[in-house]
Structure formats: structure tokens, C-alpha cells
Structure 1
């Protein structure tokens, strides 16, 4: 059942009291501080809760306090927004969303990117290895991933400069240097660690929710031509590290109880340390827009590996985690053509360009193109839980 609030919220808002995603904002003339989005407003948490931990330019200090504090704070916020007696106190801490600036919600410690969609991995295999099995032999035994560059994780709205690097055209004898000609997107879902884990102590699947605070949207921009030349034998490097955009709002795991679904069947059964413990597949509906036009609607519920399994695998060798660690799902792609989460798949390697409504075609991104990824999930009483958006515009090299 949907929660009643004294706030005058827009009808069918995905940012009702059942959501309350956390972010960092600057009010006009003020320093960055933590807030939660409710409707088309941001609630200043330091002011509403009289708590200096929220008067910081990132959420890290709050996230480090752990699961019990997260739960208590959410309950307190819910009470403030549903109890009419709290209205005089809270109204003065509300800022119209249109009048604030949004920032990265956390100071990113480490960044890991996975490759967890069977459909995406199969598509990529078919595009690049048409005469071989599309999935590598290890794919269904472990969540494949790579360590990225945390220093180039940027806030939604940050322009993305077209990267330059080495690329080798198929008909050339040697590589050339220049701007990427095959610049792509990857529609992904990100998970932010609140409570870290010490070196040498793996995080079991069952402890996922004790460590991960919340969920955001990610666009892992990719220079496919740079990536294709450099990735053998060590994997992604400069084709990925120039920019990774994230949405400004962290939706707490506690807001996603109604979005939890059973994961898809696994064959073969994963090793015991990757065995499921609770339904941690999430029924998120993503939407990808290119220059304002919807080009894809990827379904996150179809992902082969869950976020809980990703964290377990990330730490099984004893790797530590820290507050602010971000790990992403890899490209989200569904079984249908209009559910693919990258231009690489949507245009089948550039061989079948997209035709947009105005007649313009795209194989890969052109300078000036803008990409926006949004998502919603089921909430209580038929509500939808919103994630905001992650957006970026391509600037020339």
C-alpha cells in the first residue's frame, strides 16, 4: 500500500515517500550537502535531521555508518514526510529541484565493471566471432569483470570529450592515431558499497545487503575501435577509462523490496560460493534515448548474474572493499532487438545503422549527440520507483 504524505506531490511521481533516493546537491549560494529527492524537491538532510554528517560534499561518511543507521534514517525520514505535525519543521528544508545543482553522490573509491548479461555477451560474441561459440568457456561459471578507473567516473550532465588513441583499421598494416570513430554507450546499473570489507575476508552472497547501500544508473562510454585494438591480452583500458557517467541519485536497497525477483535459471549450477541466497535479481525497466528519441528499453531482470553474486566474486580472492566503491552490471540487453543496451548491438557492429525519426542515421555516436538513460522499478501499491537519469553529450576530440 502506498504511503500517504502531507506533501503535494505530482500525480504518479516515481519519487514518492516509498523511494527517497539520496544524492548530493548545492542550494543557490550554498555548499554541497546531502539530500533526498521527493517529488520535484530535494530535502536538505542536515537541516531536516539536524545531523552534521549530511553537511558533507559526499555521502561517504553516512554510508560508512552501516545497515542499522541506514534503516533508522530511512524510517525517520518516512516519519517526517508522513506526519502532518512535522510539516512546519520540514518545509523550510525543501528546495525546488530546478533551483539546485546536483553532484556525484559519492566519492568513488574503486570502480569495477562486470559483463553479466547473457544476451549482451552472446550478441558481442556473434558480432566479433561469427564462426565460433559466442560465449567464452568461463562465462557461465563466473561473473566476468575488469577494474576500471574511479577518477574518471563523472556526474550525469558532464560533457564527454571524444577520446583519441590508437586504432587499427581492418585493411591497414599498422595502427593509426586519432579520434575514436566508433564511440558507443553501455546502459548499465551500478551498485555502491556503503560498508567495506577487510583484506582477506570475502563477502558471502547472503551478506550483500549488509554492504551495498544503493543503486544508480551508469553509462560506461566505450570507444570500440580503441578497445578492439588494445584489449588483447589484458582487456579494456583506454577504450573505457576516459569517462563513466553515473546518475545523481542512489536508490536505497530498502526501496526496492517490491522489485526483487527470482534470477533466471543457471546451467550449469554455479560453484557454492556463488549460490543464490534470496532473490536479488531486480526488475528494473531501463530506457535509452538518443537525442531525445527512445532507441532501446533494456530489462534488467534478465541479467544472468545478480549484484549479490558480483560482490561475492569480486571479493572471493580476499580483495577488500571500501565505502564508495562502485561496481556496475555491464551492458543490460534483453532478447529483443529493441532491448539491446549498446549501439554496437543495436546496429550490429555498425553494419545496420539506426534510422531516427528525423531520417538521420547512426552507426555510432557523432559529435553533439546526447544520450540519456532512465529507469524505474515496481514499488508498493502499484507505484513506480524512479532512478532519475544519467545523461551526457559528446564533444569533439
Structure 2
């Protein structure tokens, strides 16, 4: 089962609960959950809420509404979890009772919809500002279309790596952001079509329309509509081309649970962080919270790698947490075949940095401070997860 949810993210408790329910009710054991990561929606927890594994406690973005009384409203979160879970079960039931013969094809397009938010500075650090460089983003726009036996378009999956943050922090309305607008436009253009968005490794990428000189702006709803309409038009253009490759489905699935290790900061380093006037208050709050934990900090971070083979030329790689674009590209560059590499899958706790990001610093590299890890991720982190993903993909593509 491939599930896409227009929410900020879900934690391990949510993912484990959803997969357990799908297994219990329908016997589904091979499940990938992908979150669009729209900042105009909620995060999802499971039941109970305090079942995060060692190393995964934390709040990925330090939003103000995830602290205080709202975060303590366990009954509200559990009630919403049950509502979402029931919706998943209802949709699964409907899907299993609506199976039909058809054909599936893939197109690997390109789009400049996104732009990097990590601007390199002369001193080797980075600034949070637009950086318009093809090398600093993943331009792949993957499309999977399903047609019935008469050739009618019935379903479309589009995959791209970009934060759904067209709207800014001044928006207080629930919205799927650009993925939802693109979906609506495509489904209006093709009555009867079901459209699914899969988030790639877009942790350090923002919508290009938000770039305003050397800063990012919060777009209006009209600006979001216009930008999303442009992406939808790009997709329509590819739908009209004859560059699609038919897939001869040969499904296989694997799951690897690995550990990503952290350095061990000394108490003085954590104290210096707390005393630093330039450190944001939400980070200091998280540091104090985890320092007071009776279980202490964890030297490693549990991480799941999921691989779904569609045919001997196509694999979908689903990675947990907020994955920067360079990790997705490095996995894809190891293979001549088509790989759709997703971030924001299964569960999300923090950003997973590359070796370069650890050296440069910046928002993505500092994410560990909001977890209960003993320190920053080790430089070998990207090698461990890319290597494990590559091993599984290679096995899938060459399995006899």
C-alpha cells in the first residue's frame, strides 16, 4: 500500500499504529506512508502518544503551537488520530473493492518549481536566503500514470522534492499548499482522475515563487494558485508527450531498520548553547526538556529505509525524516535505472544532514538540538543511509 497524507508529518507512534491497523484489517504488511509536509496542516501522533523509540523524541520544526497546553492535549490528538485512522481504513476498503485491470507508465520530467534555501557564504557557512543553482536542488519531476484497458487516465502519481511552504507563518488556515492546488487542477482537467503527491528529498528546498531578492516572502493564496497552476501545466505537458515508458510490474518490497549515530557532546557544550543569546528560545526549551529526561540522551537515531520495486527498471525508495536534496540525488546517481527517492516517509523527527551540511551549519544541521541525541550526527551518517539504500536497490533490480 502507498499512502500519501497532506499533513505536516506523523511520528513513529502514528506510523506503527496505522500499519498495525492495515495489517489487522486487510492483511497488508508492505506499507509506505509519505507526508506532503505542508505547513498548513497538523502533525499526527498515535495511541499512546509516548511510544517514540530511543533517539526519536523531539519536534522537528519547533513550531510555537507544539508547546504548552496544545501539546498537552493528549485527548485531542488521540481523537484526531482515531479519525485519520478510520479514514485510512475506509479508503483502503474502497480501494480493495474497486480493483480494475489497467496499464501503468512512467515519465521522468524536469521542473524548476523549487529553489534552494541554503545560500553559500564566503566564509564557508550558509544563509537562509534563495540560492538559484541547479546543483543545489533536485529538478526531477517523476510521473506515474495509470490507464484502464481502454486507455482512459484513471490515476496519476507525481513526485517532486520541495517544501509545501508557499504560504508563510502568517497563514492560519488549513491547506495542502501547492500539492493540493495541483491535484485540484489536474482532477478538474481529467474528470474521474485520482491524483497522488509524493514528497521527495526536499528538506532544503522552497517554492521558487517565494524567492524575493535575497529573502523569502510569504505568498498570498492567489500567488500560490498561480505557482501551482504552473506546475500543473508542466505535468499536463508531459502527459501530452510520448516519452512514457510502460512498466511490466514485478513488485517486491524490503524494509531495513538501521541506526544513525551521533557524536557525544560534553555537558559544557550543551550549557554553552543555553547561555548563547543568539540561540532561539525554542531550541533552548528542547535542550532543557531532554536534559531533564530520566532516560538520558541517546547515542543513535533509529531510521527506516523502505524500497518498493515496480519493475526491473524502477524502484521507489522511501526514507524517514526530513531529507535534504543531496541525499536523494546521490542515491539516484548510483543507478542508471529510474529511482523515485522520497523523504518524509514512515515518520519524521528531524533533519538528516549531509557531511557538507554538518560542516556548513545552518538550520538543517542544527536540527539535532531539538532531539534527545547526545550531539550532532556523525559525518558518516550520509554514507550509512545511502549505502544501505543502495544495497537494497541493487538487490531488488538484480534479483533473479
| TM-score of the two chains, using structure 2 as the length reference | 0.25
Higher helix share: 2
| TM-score of the two chains, using structure 1 as the length reference | 0.25
